[in-house]
Amino acid sequence: MSMPMDGGPSEDDQVVALRAEVDQLKEAVTSHAVVDQAIGMMVALGRVTPDQGWEVLKEVSQHTNIKLRNLAEMILIWGRNGEMPSDIRAELEDALDRFGPTQIPGGAPDTERYS
């Protein structure tokens, strides 16, 4: 690699930096999609608004010390195969209880919320 006369980064260095930036942006887009899908599951399961779904994810992430994206991935896996560690599921249910309605609209009292 050659150093430009002005002392700035070479063209090769700029290409490497741009590739790294593109990789970071791709990762951010993927991460955002995973989190959005998990929020959608919170909306459907907990009958909460998308903003409340976001708050549920943040709260569970903080209480379980699991990164938000990792938690979102776990929730998506749970949606596909029904498997989730019981302590994380309990935290999730508690958070949904705090943010969600006490009764499903048009339904009987909240007796079968997570069935």
Q: Among candidates 33, 41, 39, which has minimal Cα distance to 79?
A: 41
Residue 107 pLDDT grade (very low, low, confident, very high; cuts 50, 70, 90): low
User: What are the pLDDT digits (tens) for 68-94?
Assistant: 999 999 999 999 998 899 999 999 999
Task: Return d(Cα 60, Cα 68) in angstroms, integer.
Answer: 8
User: What are the pLDDT digits (tens) for 22-60?
Assistant: 767 767 656 678 999 999 999 998 889 999 999 999 999
Evaluate whether 23 touches 17 at the Cβ level (below 8 Å). no
Single pTM value for the model: 0.67
Residue 20 pLDDT grade (very low, low, confident, very high; cuts 50, 70, 90): confident
